[in-house]
Chain A
Amino acid sequence: MANRFLKGAASSDEDSDEEDKTIVLSAKDKRFAEMDAAIHNIQNATKSATGSSNDWVLASSELDKLLRFIGRHQASMISSPIPPAGHIPPTFLQTLVELEEGVNSTIASEKAAAKKMAPVKAKALSGLKQTLKKRSKEFEGVLKIYNEDPAAYASAYESANAVPAPVKAPKKAVAQGADGEADSADFMTIGKGGKALNLTTEGVFRTLRDIFEARGRKNTDRAETIRILSKLLEVSTTTYQRIRVYLALIPARLDYSQSLVSIPHDSWVSCLHELDALISLLIQEPDYVVQEQTEEYDDLVDREPTVVDGKTQRVAVAGSLIGMLENLDNEFTKTLQHTDAHDKGSDYIERLREELPLYVAIVKAQALFEREALSDHVTRAVMRRLEHIYAKPDVVINHFEDAVGKTASGLQSQVTPFGVTRDASALVHLLCVFIYQSEAPLLRARAILAHIFSHASHGRYHQARDLLLMSHLQDTVQHADVITQILYNRAVMQLGLAAFRQGYIAECQTILAEMFSTQRQKELLAQSIQRYNTQLSPEQELVEKRRLLPFHMHLNIELLEAAYLTSCMLIEVPLLAAADSEEQRRRIASKTFKRLLDMAERQAFMGPPENTRDHIIKASKALQAGEWEKAKELILTIKVWTLLENVDAVRDMLAKKIQEEGLRTYLFTYSSFYASLSLSHLSSTFSLSVPAINSIISRMIYSDELAASLDPIDGVVIFHRVEQTEVQRLSQQLAERAAMLLEQNEKTLDQKLGSQNRGEERGQTTGTDGAARGRTERRGGTRGG
């Protein structure tokens, strides 16, 4: 039996052996701890001396664990140089022996006992017996030796394991205490042994190679790797060494999170510092360059720039700076995603604070890429930079830029020259324009959307709208990837809000209508995951969760809704008043708003308004009843408005619009009860000036909304409305239906006939249609993702 183990030990190569052990050892310690625990459990469970706790179920499961462990232990021992005597720990054998005794005695006593055992226990017991029998056969030889003289076996085991013993002990210390000092002591020990890591300046490359080889293997301890690498960083002296170590350390840190949702914050921070240091190093040492593709080089030799023919040959090191930068940035988003901004506000803010150094690092990287003329990388870095600032208020951007200005002395940049003061919008403009010139269509689309968002959030509605229309994104966005769609939705929402702030109520309503026609604004903006679609598989949910925006990027849905519903109120209420029949009424109203209104109508009792929606609905009711002052008060007391930048201007605008629409609603609703109305009376009722009233009424008359005419001499408006009788109204409806039916028929016929002639017509029309570019879709609605 023992020979089997011997074979592996004899053939193993010394070099690889060392390496294996250094990695395996720590795992081995863990296993030993496990084993001890299992043995302890078994002993507890079978303490037949007290007789009280014959827990055979537990004992059985623990034995399974133990056996599994010993199997693994053997496998690892095969390749180790420890003589076979040291393979099976005596404690294990002891347990086996004891357990067997216990089982036998229990079964014997069970037969004699009057009371039967619980069936579960009995089953476990017999199972245990079977396993023991089988297993003792496997370990027969060793057991025999052990049974003959347990003490002798134990001493043999000890002596066999004597060589690795000193290694084992400190390793345990590593597992317990993780501070730096303990580390250094440990590593020194290993160094003395001459077997494990070579943490000296000369051995940097060797160690690096070892780590690279171990990377990705199953049992690699990532934390350990990181520790070794940061140690290496301390001892490395030349620039080349440091670059190499950085290039290994940063990805190692980023790899750390595979099982976690995000890497720990402190780890992320040190990663950021290291990346920043690497970028600074590369900026300082123009003779070294990190490239994704390099020529083959021996990675065990230190390299320095050489001068050939008067030209300095630069040292190229394989690595992807932009990849690391992007990963780091993604990790930043992940940490924020998994920090609850409400419950752990201070944590969130603390993490958010790190955005500033991250931003600086991105800008530095951008400058570095520009120097290396890596246009693709510059674009990607600029995009990252843009993503960090496009949704931020100017104050924050200026703060960021100040920080950049302080650290980035001596840097050169074509895209965003340093040392020039510019305001935030100009910066966004510069960055976007740079990306527009790049080749990547995806980044271009995103840059446009970010630009639109920035314009809109600064209240430049027209620029934002023109940009959106000229980009033609609304035609193609439904084929775009999800992230772009989310960005599109955000930009559109912001555009709607900009329109509202500028007083373009109708535009605001059209822009926001599509977003609010569903109940899923939050999902469309990636501010929460889907709630309604319950068939979502866990993987999909995970993907969606990963897309969520961190809290500080969120748009305020309540504010958007308030803007949308208020615009709806201002537009729909007069229209509803103007509509004669219920059918007309149904045709015009925006569905969301109409539903809310109807719901309010059905309520028997309407309490004081509680939320924003209540405010607006109550205001709409008041407006319908002609009580514009009440409506105005209700709307102006909505609290969310305070979030807008120019609150007072918006409030004034809203007050004025409510007055005007109130007048229109009043005229539509009550004109049939008057033959004429004095303009001065209207003026005092709606506190609008007479010219303003004149202008509003004139517009209504001119556009045939109101059957009336003005008499400037008496200062009255005279209504000409002729009331229909019920019969007339119904017959008119019937006639309209008939006309509609006929139209439908004609259309159907056209389609049928058209299919024959269409081919020719199309050939003639496409020429001009296809060439039409620009803003044809001016009012062409928006589309959500």
Chain B
Amino acid sequence: MAEYDLTQQLIPHLDRQLAIPLLAHLSDIAIFPAEQLAKAQYDLVKGTNMVDYVEQLYSQLPNAEPKDFSSLREAATSKYQTLQEAAQPVMKVIEDPDAVAKLRSNVDREKNLEILRTEYNIDIDGINALYHFGQYQYSLGAYANAANFLYHFLLFSPSFDLNISAHWGKLACNILVGEWESALTEVKDLRDLIDNPHGTSMSKPLAQLQARTWLLHWSLFVFFNLGEVTGCQSLLEMFLTPAYLNTIQTSCPHLLRYLVAAAIISRRAPKPAGTRGNRDHVKDLTKIVSMEEYQYSDPVTSFLKDLFSDFDFGKAQERLSVAESVVRQDFFLSGFADEFVENARWLISEVFCRIHQRIDISELSKTLNLSNEEGEKWIVNLIRDSRMGVDAKIDLKSNMLHISRHHTTPTVTLIETTRGLAFRSQAVNYAMQSTTGERRDGGERGRGRGRPRGGRSEVEAAT
């Protein structure tokens, strides 16, 4: 299983702290030698200021020589204190309810800065102290505090680069603390900042590509913890946007596994109104998977290809059992293994029924990795689900499933084509009448509509 493990591909795009749970997971499932893992964990944590944790990991190393961590700890503590002192004045203001009220009543960031400067004698450096203190707390492992400081920093800071960095920091904190909802908003904020660079340092294609790659990786934590339905759907929504799909194809094709898995898992979930059907996702993904096969493939993606490109059910079934174990061991997907398998089975049987006219139930059960009886139950459920679009009957005597399809007669197609023609023509007619009548004031109305909207967006930006 070790060959399908993605941790090594994922870590370069993650923050040091975010990689810690990944490695911890690896040591849980034990597919790699323990000593190597312990070493890797130590190397990873060494760069942080979590001295206690470092010491603990160090002691676990097989040939660890005794090493003095107290000096490290002292250095960390003293640094903590200096930073805390620097951030003190701002903190005071923030903790003061009067000041907060005053600041909150203002929507303009510039004005708030002005107030801070004149009334409380806090300049930019003071605000930046918040950022540094937050960053340090983050490196100490005090994520909740760090998130708090960064939140306040974001309220005041005018610097774009620091703000981006603070957003990343806050996202990491939220992830590590487990506040998935606020992490989701943070992901959205970052996405907004990355996609609309407007002449900042992010507008360079390369910087944008890297930021997107990071965001894709970091958001995995968020989406797979939000719950089966919403998480997977938001993931699909974000990953399938052309810009992010391109990023996946260009710099991190290994994320295709999560994309495919999410598509399969959320396949039967009720869809929010107005979105495309999942079948389109699957179709698109099959295309992408076979296009990127030359640079990435694993059991999960190959399953999709076997099923929808080669229509090889035997192979798909074998692949599914491998994919299942891969999913079970994956850090992000392990919680969804059962859903994954169940939905994958649905996919198989759906395609199977679409193509065949008579199906031997025992054969199908074998394809689905089920016993004969289970298979029967499964099929009954399948038939009950009307989404299959076929009529199926079980012939118990010969243990056979008969599928009959409604064939469209030419008359039906003809009616189908002409349906709505009259209505649509009328609509065109009405539209034409209304435009010729309102042509003159149309422009004004457009302008009138534009103004309040612009005003509102300004307000939104300020708050």
Seen from chain A, the residues whose Cβ lies within 8 Å of a Cβ on chain B are 462, 466, 470, 691, 694-695, 698-699, 701-702, 707, 709-714, 718, 720, 722, 724-725, 728-729, 731-732, 735-736, 738-739, 742, 745-746, 749, 752-753, 756-757, 759-760, 767-768, 771-776, 778
B360 touches A712 (CB 8 A): yes
With A707-B407, A732-B413, A732-B417 as contacts: A746 and B428 at CB distance below 8 Å: yes
A776 touches B246 (CB 8 A): yes
Partner of A701, one of B246, B354, B418, B432: B354
Beyond A702-B355, A745-B428, A756-B442, 8 additional pairs, beta carbon < 8 A? A466-B250, A698-B311, A701-B354, A712-B356, A713-B400, A735-B418, A774-B247, A776-B242
B102 touches A (CB below 8 Å): no
B355 touches A709 (CB 8 A): yes
A773 to B360, CA, bound (A): 50
Partner of B405, one of A709, A731, A742, A752: A709
A701 to B242, CA, bound (A): 30
**B359: A residues at CB distance < 8 A:** 712
Contact mask for chain B residues 277-313; partner A; CB cutoff 8 A; 1 contact, 0 none: 0000000000000010011000000000000111110
With A698-B311, A711-B358, A759-B446 as contacts: A736 and B417 at CB distance below 8 Å: yes
Main secondary structure of the interface of B (DSSP, over half): helix
From residue B88, how far is it (CB to closest CB) to chain A in Å? 40
A738 touches B311 (CB 8 A): no
Interfacial residues of chain B within 231-256, with CB under 8 A of chain A in the complex: 241-243, 246-247, 249-250
A-B contact pairs, 12 of them (CB 8 A): A702-B351, A712-B356, A725-B410, A728-B410, A742-B421, A745-B425, A752-B435, A756-B446, A760-B449, A767-B196, A771-B208, A773-B209
Interface size on B, residues (CB 8 A): 55
A773 touches B312 (CB 8 A): no
B148 touches A (CB below 8 Å): no
Residue with the greatest number of chain A CB neighbours at <10 A, chosen from B241, B294, B360:
B294
B270 touches A (CB below 8 Å): no
**A756: B residues at CB distance < 8 A:** 442-443, 446
A757 to B311, CA, bound (A): 47
B396 touches A (CB below 8 Å): no
A773 touches B246 (CB 8 A): yes
Partner of B358, one of A698, A713, A759: A713
With A695-B310, A760-B449 as contacts: A709 and B249 at CB distance below 8 Å: no
Instruction: Identify the closest chain B residue to A723 (Cβ).
Output: B410
A722 touches B357 (CB 8 A): no
A701 to B356, CA, bound (A): 9
A760 to B411, CA, bound (A): 44
With A728-B410, A732-B410 as contacts: A709 and B431 at CB distance below 8 Å: no
A710 touches B250 (CB 8 A): no
B205 touches A (CB below 8 Å): yes
**B249: A residues at CB distance < 8 A:** 774-775
A718 to B403, CA, bound (A): 12
Contact mask for chain B residues 112-135; partner A; CB cutoff 8 A; 1 contact, 0 none: 000000000000000000000000
Main secondary structure of the interface of A (DSSP, over half): helix
From residue B36, how far is it (CB to closest CB) to chain A in Å? 32
With A745-B428, A771-B243 as contacts: A712 and B363 at CB distance below 8 Å: yes
Partner of A749, one of B243, B410, B432, B446: B432
**A722: B residues at CB distance < 8 A:** 407-410
B101 touches A (CB below 8 Å): no
A741 to B418, CA, bound (A): 12
A739 touches B311 (CB 8 A): no
With A724-B410, A771-B196 as contacts: A718 and B357 at CB distance below 8 Å: yes
A314 to B314, CA, bound (A): 78
A470 touches B250 (CB 8 A): yes
A738 to B420, CA, bound (A): 11
**B428: A residues at CB distance < 8 A:** 742, 745-746, 749
A694 to B313, CA, bound (A): 10
B450 touches A760 (CB 8 A): yes
Partner of B435, one of A709, A753, A776: A753
**B194: A residues at CB distance < 8 A:** 771
A32 to B218, CA, bound (A): 91
From residue A144, how far is it (CB to closest CB) to chain B in Å? 90
A771 touches B195 (CB 8 A): yes
B355 touches A735 (CB 8 A): no
From residue A134, how far is it (CB to closest CB) to chain B in Å? 80
A742 touches B417 (CB 8 A): no
From residue A565, how far is it (CB to closest CB) to chain B in Å? 25
B417 touches A739 (CB 8 A): yes
Seen from chain B, the residues whose Cβ lies within 8 Å of a Cβ on chain A are 194-197, 205, 208-209, 241-243, 246-247, 249-250, 291, 294-295, 308-312, 351, 354-360, 363, 400, 403, 405, 407-411, 413-414, 417-418, 421, 424-425, 428, 431-432, 435, 442-443, 446, 449-450
A695 touches B195 (CB 8 A): no
**A718: B residues at CB distance < 8 A:** 357
Instruction: Identify the closest chain A residue to B442 (Cβ).
Output: A756
B405 touches A774 (CB 8 A): no
**B243: A residues at CB distance < 8 A:** 768, 771-774
A735 to B417, CA, bound (A): 6
From residue A262, how far is it (CB to closest CB) to chain B in Å? 43
A772 touches B421 (CB 8 A): no
From residue B357, how far is it (CB to closest CB) to chain A in Å? 4
9 A-B pairs closest in CB distance: A774-B246, A698-B311, A709-B357, A728-B410, A735-B417, A772-B243, A771-B195, A775-B246, A695-B311
Partner of B312, one of A691, A701, A725, A753: A691
Instruction: Identify the closest chain A residue to B413 (Cβ).
Output: A732
B355 touches A701 (CB 8 A): yes
A768 touches B414 (CB 8 A): no
From residue A167, how far is it (CB to closest CB) to chain B in Å? 71
From residue B190, how far is it (CB to closest CB) to chain A in Å? 13
From residue B398, how far is it (CB to closest CB) to chain A in Å? 9
Partner of B205, one of A728, A757, A773: A773
A711 touches B246 (CB 8 A): no
**B247: A residues at CB distance < 8 A:** 774
**A694: B residues at CB distance < 8 A:** 311
**A732: B residues at CB distance < 8 A:** 410, 413-414, 417
A768 touches B417 (CB 8 A): no
A731 touches B351 (CB 8 A): no
A738 to B419, CA, bound (A): 11
**B450: A residues at CB distance < 8 A:** 760
From residue B170, how far is it (CB to closest CB) to chain A in Å? 22
A698 touches B417 (CB 8 A): no
Instruction: Identify the closest chain A residue to B400 (Cβ).
Output: A713
A695 to B312, CA, bound (A): 6
From residue A730, how far is it (CB to closest CB) to chain B in Å? 11
Instruction: Identify the closest chain A residue to B251 (Cβ).
Output: A774
From residue A347, how far is it (CB to closest CB) to chain B in Å? 45
A742 touches B356 (CB 8 A): no
**A738: B residues at CB distance < 8 A:** 418, 421
**B411: A residues at CB distance < 8 A:** 728
A728 to B351, CA, bound (A): 31
**A760: B residues at CB distance < 8 A:** 446, 449-450
A712 to B360, CA, bound (A): 8
**A774: B residues at CB distance < 8 A:** 209, 242-243, 246-247, 249-250
A736 to B417, CA, bound (A): 7
From residue A531, how far is it (CB to closest CB) to chain B in Å? 39
A735 to B196, CA, bound (A): 46
From residue A436, how far is it (CB to closest CB) to chain B in Å? 12
**B197: A residues at CB distance < 8 A:** 771
Partner of A767, one of B195, B242, B357: B195
Partner of B414, one of A701, A713, A731: A731
Instruction: Identify the closest chain A residue to B360 (Cβ).
Output: A713
Partner of A710, one of B205, B356, B421: B356
A721 to B137, CA, bound (A): 71
A712 to B366, CA, bound (A): 14
A752 to B403, CA, bound (A): 49
A702 touches B354 (CB 8 A): yes
A462 touches B357 (CB 8 A): no
Partner of A753, one of B209, B413, B431: B431
